[in-house]
Amino acid sequence: MSVATGLHAVFDGGATFLATGCNTPDPAGVSKPLKLMKGVSRDVVVHRLRAAADAMADALAHDDDEAAVQSALHKVFRNYVEAPASDQLAAVIAALRPRTPISTVSLGLSAPAVAIPPTRAYGGRRAS
């Protein structure tokens, strides 16, 4: 099974199981069933997992169209996969995001320098 097919199965199976109203049994069988994170309703979790499963299914169904796959993956992994340039609204949103480069690297070719965005090993981007 490919990673994309596996992710679709996890998202789809999770949404289907949680929609039944049951909590996940403890895999080790030593404690009570696992609960959802406090403050997040079951309906919200099911909706998010279903949306992720649908987006992964869309990406798998259009695996011959790079822009369609990128658009579908952006819906699930918006912090990691940029929206395709053909999506005008997404392009405007991406242009408005602050990008503070750590450094600029010249490729040594006739191409322009490339800005390297800051990264962190844990957590999100630092607040400016």
pLDDT tens profile 25-74: 888 889 888 788 888 889 999 999 999 999 999 999 998 888 888 889 98
pLDDT at 53: 96
pLDDT at 110: 47
pLDDT tens profile 91-111: 677 777 766 554 444 444 444
* Burial class of residue 49 in the structure, from the number of CB atoms within 10 Å of its CB (0-12 exposed, 13-18 middle, 19+ buried): buried
Domain-wise residue ranges, the chain = 3-91
Distance (Å, whole) CA 71 – CA 87: 8
What is the model's pTM? 0.61
Question: Do 34 and 24 contact (CB within 8 A), yes or no?
Answer: yes
